[in-house]
Amino acid sequence: MEELIWKYIDNTCTDEERESVVNLLNTDAEFRKSYELIVDLEDQLLSVAKITMRPDFKTQLVQKVAIELREQKVSIKTNILPIKWIIGLSFVAVAIIIYAVTIIKSAEPSITFMPSMDEKVISMIGMVTSGFIMLTLLDAILKKVQQIKRITGLLA
C-alpha cells in the first residue's frame, strides 16, 4: 500500500495504479490516512532538501580556496623535479662534450686501435640522452607516486 502511495507521489506509477489510488482514496479511510501522512512527510522533506550556505561562510570559503590554490601552485613548483633545468643542463653537457671531443680530436694524432672519436661522441650523446630520459621517467614516476599518495590519503 505504502509503495503505491510513494509511486503515486513520485509520479512513477502506471495508469492502472493511479486509478486504483484514486479509488482507494475515495473508499478506504485507512489508505487515505496513510496517504495524508505521506504527503505531509513529502512536503517536509522537500522543504529541507536544499540547505544554503551562510553568505559569510561562502565568502570565507572563496578566500580560503584562493589562498589554498596559490600555496598549491608554489608547492607543485617546488615538489616536482625541475624538468626545465634537466633539459637545459643536458643540452649544455652535450654541447661541452662535443666541443671537448672536437678539440681532443684536432690535437691528438689518430690511434688506430682506439674507437674513433665519432663513436665516442655518439656513445656520450647516447649516455646523456638516456640519462635525461631516465630523469624524465623518474620525474613522471615521482609525480604519479605523489598523486597516489594523495588519493590513498584521501580515501583511507
Interface size with another protein, residues (CB under 8 A):
37
CB of 154 to another protein, least distance (A): 6
Question: Does residue number 45 form part of the binding site for another protein (CB under 8 A)?
Answer: yes
Residue 146: Cβ within 10 Å count: 13
37 binds another protein (CB under 8 A): yes
> Applying CB under 8 A, does 32 fall inside the site for another protein?
no
CA atoms of 146 and 33, how far apart (whole Å): 59
Distance CA 36, CA 25 (A): 10
d(CA 58, CA 52): 10
- Of 44-52, 80-88, 98-106, 118-126, the segment contacting another protein by CB under 8 A is 44-52
Contact of 35 with 5, CB cutoff 8 Å? yes
Strands (E), 21-98: none
Which set of grid coordinates corresponds to residue 106? Answer: 684536432
Closest approach of Cβ 88 to another protein, in Å? Answer: 25
Among 14, 26, 27, 44, binds another protein (CB under 8 A): 44
Residue 29 near another protein by CB under 8 A: no
For the window 46-85, what string marks contact with another protein as x by the rule CB under 8 A? Answer: xxxxxxxxx--xx--xx-xxx-xxx-xx------------
Q: Which residues of 46-73 are buried (b: 16+ CB within 10 A; e: fewer)?
A: eeeeeeeeeeeeeeeeeeeeeeeeeeee
What residues line the site for another protein (CB under 8 A)?
Answer: 2-3, 6, 10, 34, 37-38, 40-41, 44-54, 57-58, 61-62, 64-66, 68-70, 72-73, 147, 150-151, 154-155
